[in-house]
């Protein structure tokens, strides 16, 4: 074991002195996070735009006024900026057509009386040019309110068929239209909640560059084999597995440190919380182990350090892009099942679990995915012929 730790410490010092490790494992991914957030931030987290609504409602009708107040109450909710202006019914279409307002609302005369008496009535919604989410919110809320008023009309109609006097019908209609819901809800956070777009960006870049970071151990091993240093090390009085294990430990330690720094700095800068530190630490260890296992395959298929760098880059980009390092890929069937086996996507899903409040016990699927990937890759490394040993 003394030889193992001696070689590990020596290689770590060599990698740390090589500034390319720090640049490529930490500085480059952090810079890429900032650039991608600037470029894609508005696409993934669009800001709600101010929306103007032209409302035409008959004067002296409390139910019509209540419908307009429903729209007016949206102003300031969840970042919405809704402005409601009063207009005549014949002006609404013109205002929406020329872009002065984005949504028009026309409440007909006798709206309240019709509801109270159980008669049919019609509210007109006019959407202006554009398909913004703000318009959809206003339209959805108005439709929900109209559905509620329709329930009042049905209740009044049922009362009329039952022979209730008109005064009672008015009371029934008004009570149903303005009654508070008897069903409440409490917003909660699920343990398998998905990461925000910014959180997924930080996690994805950390997972992608982890695959590059662990490659420094592969490069060192293949380089020493090319230079003849590996043969001299094997001639020393120590087990041959010690040499490969030392390179793997270097990759593992570099991966742990780099991924921890990326998640910590990225989470702090972008105001993203990944949840319980112990659970995140377990995920990092599992992800680094899965990434390090690839080193053994590359070391056996690559004859030169150049081939090792190319193979490492191809594997890292394929697994990173397919795993959602830049954007989430949604697929079904067998394609989706294969993508789910990707350690990068499992790492991102695991961080989604922890960010939603999940603990170590909730990480069963992501951890099993990465453990299974590690086992399959190690078996493959044992079965693949060592091309580097052939001269």
Please determine, for residue 191, whether its predicted confidence score (pLDDT) is greater than 50: no
Please determine, for residue 131, whether its predicted confidence score (pLDDT) is greater than 60: no
pLDDT of the residue at 48 = 61
Structure tokens at 305: 């350090």
Integer angstrom CA distances of residue 154 from 160, 168, 268, 330, 385: 10, 14, 54, 44, 78
Does 268 or 156 have the greater pLDDT score? Answer: 268
What's the predicted TM-score (pTM) here? 0.62
Please determine, for residue 136, whether its predicted confidence score (pLDDT) is greater than 80: no
pLDDT of the residue at 376 = 92
What are residue 179's phi and psi, to 5 degrees? -65, 145
Rg value, the chain, Cα: 32
pLDDT tens digits for range 77-119: 656 778 888 888 888 888 888 888 888 888 888 887 776 666 7
Does 130 or 310 have the greater pLDDT score? Answer: 310
Of 2-6, 101-105, 272-276, minimum mean pLDDT range: 2-6
pLDDT of the residue at 279 = 92
Please state the rounded mean pLDDT for residues 112-138.
73
pLDDT of the residue at 369 = 92
Please state the rounded mean pLDDT for residues 238-249.
74
Does 129 or 317 have the greater pLDDT score? Answer: 317
As a three-state string, the secondary structure of 355-384 is: HCCCCHHHCHHHHHHHHHHHHHHHHHHHHC
Determine what percent of the chain is predicted with pLDDT higher than 70: 74
Mean residue pLDDT across the chain: 77
**In the chain, beta strands by DSSP E:** 51-56, 82-86, 103-106, 124-127
pLDDT tens digits for range 200-234: 888 888 988 888 888 777 777 777 776 666 666 66
What are residue 85's phi and psi, to 5 degrees? -115, 145
Please state the rounded mean pLDDT for residues 133-138.
74
Gap between the Cα atoms of 127 and 15, Å rounded:
61
- In this prediction, residue 285 has a pLDDT band, given cuts at 50, 70 and 90, of very high
Please determine, for residue 69, whether its predicted confidence score (pLDDT) is greater than 50: yes
- Contact at 8 Å (CB) between 263 and 285? no
- Contact at 8 Å (CB) between 386 and 370? no
pLDDT of the residue at 391 = 44
């Amino acid at each position: 074991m003394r030889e193992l730790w001696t070689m590990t410490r020596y290689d770590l010092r060599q990698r740390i002195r090589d500034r390319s490790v720090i640049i490529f494992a930490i500085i480059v991914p952090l810079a890429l996070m900032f650039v991608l957030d600037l470029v894609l931030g508005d696409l993934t987290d669009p800001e709600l735009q101010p929306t103007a609504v032209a409302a035409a409602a008959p004067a002296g009708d409390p139910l019509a006024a209540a419908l307009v107040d429903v729209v007016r109450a949206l102003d300031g909710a969840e970042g919405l900026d809704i402005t409601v202006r009063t207009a005549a019914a014949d002006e609404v279409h013109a205002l929406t057509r020329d872009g002065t307002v984005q949504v028009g609302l026309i409440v007909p005369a006798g709206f309240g009386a019709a509801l109270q008496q159980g008669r049919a009535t019609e509210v007109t919604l006019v959407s202006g040019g554009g398909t913004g989410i703000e318009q959809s919110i206003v339209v959805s809320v108005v439709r929900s309110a109209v559905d509620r008023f329709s329930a009042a009309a049905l209740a009044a109609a049922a009362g009329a068929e039952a022979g209730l006097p008109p005064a009672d019908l008015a009371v029934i209609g008004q009570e149903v239209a303005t009654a508070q819901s008897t069903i409440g809800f409490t917003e909660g956070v699920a343990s398998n909640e998905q990461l925000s777009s910014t959180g997924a960006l930080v996690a994805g870049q950390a997972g992608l560059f982890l695959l590059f970071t662990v490659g420094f151990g592969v490069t060192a091993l293949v380089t020493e084999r090319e230079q003849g240093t590996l043969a001299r090390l094997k001639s020393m009085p120590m087990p041959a597995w010690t040499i490969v294990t030392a390179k793997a430990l270097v990759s593992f330690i570099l991966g742990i440190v780099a991924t921890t720094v990326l998640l910590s700095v990225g989470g702090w800068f972008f105001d993203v919380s990944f949840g319980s530190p112990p659970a995140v630490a377990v995920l990092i260890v599992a992800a680094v182990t899965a990434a390090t296992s690839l080193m053994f395959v590359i070391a056996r298929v690559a004859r030169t350090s150049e081939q090792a760098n190319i193979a490492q880059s191809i594997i890292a980009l394929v697994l990173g892009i397919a795993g959602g390092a830049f954007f989430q890929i949604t697929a079904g069937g067998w394609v989706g099942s294969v993508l789910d086996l990707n350690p990068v996507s499992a790492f991102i899903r695991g961080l989604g679990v922890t960010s939603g409040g999940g603990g170590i016990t909730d990480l069963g699927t992501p951890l099993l995915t990465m453990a299974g990937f590690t086992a399959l890759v190690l078996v493959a490394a044992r079965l693949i012929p060592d091309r580097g040993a052939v001269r």
